[in-house]
A and B are shown apart, each in its own frame.
Chain A
Amino acid sequence: MSWAQAILLARGLSRSRGGVCGAALTGAPFPQVSLQAPRGLHCSAAAHSSDMWLVPPPPKPPRGPTRALAPHEELFRQAPDGAQDKANFVRAVQTFGQHNVHKRGHVDFIYLALRKMREYGVERDLAVYNLLLDVFPKEVFRPRSIFQSIFIHYPRQQECGIAVLEQMESHGVMPNKETEFLLIQIFGRKSYPMLKFVRMKLWFSRFKNINPFPVPRDLPQDPVDLAALGLRHMEPNLSARVTVYQMPSSRDSAGAADAAEPHIVGIQTPDQQAALARHNPARPIFVEGPFSLWLRDKCVYYHILRADLLPPEEREVEEIPEEWNLYYPMQLDLDYGRSAWDDYEFDIHKVEEGPVFAICMAGAHDQATLAKWIQGLQETNPALAQIPVVFRLARSTRELLATSSGLEEPPPPPPEGLEEEEDSQQRQQQGQS
């Protein structure tokens, strides 16, 4: 009986003083109690669960029977204009801080905000991450003694801090000094979020610029610009020229032919022009495609104009006459005493394929569109008028289109062309070989 009285007494005490015993009754870990007693910031959940300063009234159950609302989700619904942008996200976070002076439930709120970031389009914004970290109460979770830092101090809060940093990491956001100050202020130097921060700082700077083929972070929205960017990306020769053969019909200026005119953008280097001029008109050349190219998370399709590999007996070796240069020999057949030490060649025949003459990206992947591209190419390559062109298009792009969100508009299956190959499906799988 005295035991029950003691509990009642303790409960009364906790109500009046709001500190020690409440936390002890809820079963908080031992080291936290000694800390909370003087400050009383962490009022226990059990003692005050039904008091009036639970800021917004608990939300009504959602209309649909799908799932319950996460706590604090109503903060994200109070946008006056209903738009999902950075201003509203920041406003929701600030509303949480203003209404909730004691920062109750901030871990739940931060997890919710992390999930919402992609909807609001702020998942790559460093300032927003710093604002989220700012939600944590300062100086509360810092370990005060070595024992606290050995036994992880406030583990749930530290996990939440790591989750914020991990989401930054997965979106490639480099933390800055402000993040560091916030983390030191919140969790202290010897904490797991700080360790994660140090690792991120180290490895992000090491791997920041290792891509030798960089793609801009924000891809152009205009399909013509995007096609030009993709073509420049694929072509290693910097002297290549990008030509827009046909603008899309919305701002049509080229030829007034059809109602729907997809864009056609091509690229060709001077070397390829010369090679096409030298091409034997008896041998056909092929338009192949569509092949996929990924620019970050966007997939674009391109077609190539290529010839088959010449049989070895028809290949002509270009000979440089010796009298081209009187001072230096143009060819050296000297053996400078090279031995096996100096053999840096791989003992293998590399895969050889026929030459590529031009690449294009078009809005539609049917034969009529690509024929216009060939017509446009004939202006700069008069030899193309004599060479037969065979269209080897993939009949169905089912392989390429499977289950994707970042794809371009699906290329419609081309009409039953005359020269389309029957094994198109197989060609599609072979990529661009």
Chain B
Amino acid sequence: MALVHKFLSGTYMFRKCPKPGVASCPFLGTRFVDYCSSSLQKPVAGPGKNSSEGDLQGHHQREVALNITSPEEKSEVSFDKAIKDEIKSHFRRLKDDIVNYWIGPEGRPLHEVLLEQAKVVWQFRGKEDLDKWIVTSDKTIGGRSEVFLKMGKNNQSALLYGTLSSEAPKDGESGRSGYCAMISRIPRGPFERKRSYDWSQFNTLYLRVRGDGRPWMVNIREDTDLIQRKNQMYSYFMFTRGGPYWQEVKIPFSKFFFSNQGRIRDAQYQLLLDKISSIGFTLADKVDGPFFLEIDFIGVFTDPAHTEEFAYENSPELNPRLFK
């Protein structure tokens, strides 16, 4: 029973079927809360955060949805039919997975996957591509920043825009604030199984963006089941040039440094690329004002000229235990 319950809550989120919106919202909220708040720069303070965060996150979702989707389709609500459809679709996806497994990884022939040198992971060519992303800002902890995500001109790129405000929330604890972020959703398989990306044959991240001169932070998160590691991520910076031209940003994975709860760790470890769960972009440059970032696509590729394994060596001054 519990399984069915969970599975329903998940499927409602995915399918946007004629839903009793009120009922599904709490699930939506709590489901994202864990994920979003763990990527924040600051720890969330105060009791009862779950409810407020859930609300706000749902609010964000609604805003994005307002921007993205056409007016909601009018049809009658039928629980039995919806449940049946969901079960059917999950089993269909399970069948597809099993069939794909015999063809090769990700349903493609093995030689094709092995020979691949460049791969597009996220692209923005339609409104359904925006559903793979979450936007969040320090509104979740009481700040004033705003961020929205929508399709750009001609439905060819994603436009992330909003206003950054470094006004600290008046909760008596936080002294600083001001961030906006865009995070990719964790890919899910049939029956909401967690999936991950395997980029171990590539060594560079590629982004085609256009910004307004502000620096962004690119965060990559590894897939892990350990709850102790849920705040760990690997980050590097993405500098935008500004101006009317598109810009190609190539970040080698060896440059990503390791951090936990927003603090750089003393012991640095390389980013392991075989289980990547999500990528995120954070803006927190302490400058108040509007911002925008247009993203064409995000990919990974192999740069044969790049041979560096890891850019940061550990210091014996900080970690004497690593050098014993």
Contact in complex: A210, B237 (CB < 8 Å): yes
Query: Quick one: which of B156, B161, B212 contacts A293, CB cutoff 8 A?
Result: B212
Contact in complex: A433, B152 (CB < 8 Å): yes
Residue A331, interface by CB 8 Å? no
CA A292 to CA B163, docked complex, whole Å = 12
Number of B positions contacting A (CB below 8 A): 54
Contact in complex: B289, A299 (CB < 8 Å): yes
Residue B115, interface by CB 8 Å? yes
Contact in complex: B243, A234 (CB < 8 Å): yes
Among B190-241, those with CB < 8 Å from A are: 206, 208, 210, 212-215, 237, 239-241
Give the distance to chain A from B244, nearest Cβ to Cβ, in Å.
5
Residue A342, interface by CB 8 Å? yes
Residue B242, interface by CB 8 Å? yes
Among B45-65, those with CB < 8 Å from A are: none
Which chain A residue has the least Cβ–Cβ distance from B300?
A346
Residue A297, interface by CB 8 Å? yes
Query: Quick one: which of A348, A402, A432 contacts B244, CB cutoff 8 A?
Result: A432
Residue A320, interface by CB 8 Å? no
Among B144-162, those with CB < 8 Å from A are: 144, 150, 152-154, 156-157, 159, 161
Query: Quick one: which of B154, B241, B294, B297 contacts A236, CB cutoff 8 A?
Result: B241
**With a CB–CB cut-off of 8 A, which chain B residues contact A211?**
215, 237, 239
Contact in complex: B161, A429 (CB < 8 Å): yes
Digit string of A358-386 for contact with B (CB within 8 Å is 1, else 0)? 01000000000000000000000000000
Which chain B residue has the least Cβ–Cβ distance from A233?
B242
**With a CB–CB cut-off of 8 A, which chain B residues contact A207?**
237
Residue A350, interface by CB 8 Å? yes
Contact in complex: A294, B299 (CB < 8 Å): no
CA A406 to CA B214, docked complex, whole Å = 14
Residue A238, interface by CB 8 Å? no
Query: Quick one: which of B115, B150, B297 contacts A340, CB cutoff 8 A?
Result: B115
Query: Quick one: which of B115, B240, B242, B297 contacts A348, CB cutoff 8 A?
Result: B297
**With a CB–CB cut-off of 8 A, which chain A residues contact B11?**
none
Q: Given that A233-B242, A235-B243, A304-B244 are contacting pairs, would A404 and B288 also be in contact in the complex, using a CB cutoff of 8 Å?
A: yes
CA A356 to CA B246, docked complex, whole Å = 11
**With a CB–CB cut-off of 8 A, which chain A residues contact B264?**
199, 203
Which chain B residue has the least Cβ–Cβ distance from A237?
B245
Contact in complex: A340, B239 (CB < 8 Å): no
Residue B165, interface by CB 8 Å? yes
Digit string of A289-326 for contact with B (CB within 8 Å is 1, else 0)? 00111111101001010100000000000000000000
Residue B120, interface by CB 8 Å? yes
Question: With contacts A211-B237, A343-B118, A351-B156 known, what are 15 further pairs, Cβ within 8 A?
Answer: A199-B318, A206-B312, A212-B239, A213-B242, A234-B244, A234-B245, A294-B242, A294-B289, A299-B290, A306-B244, A346-B301, A347-B120, A359-B243, A430-B153, A431-B292
What is the interface of chain A, defined by CB distance below 8 A to chain B?
A: 170, 195, 198-199, 202-203, 206-207, 210-213, 215, 230, 233-236, 291-297, 299, 302, 304, 306, 339-348, 350-351, 353, 356, 359, 399-407, 429-433
What are 24 sample pairs from A and B whose C-beta atoms fall under 8 A apart?
A: A198-B315, A199-B266, A202-B318, A206-B312, A210-B239, A233-B242, A234-B243, A291-B212, A294-B213, A294-B291, A306-B244, A339-B115, A343-B118, A344-B302, A346-B120, A346-B301, A400-B290, A403-B144, A403-B289, A404-B289, A429-B161, A432-B210, A432-B294, A433-B152
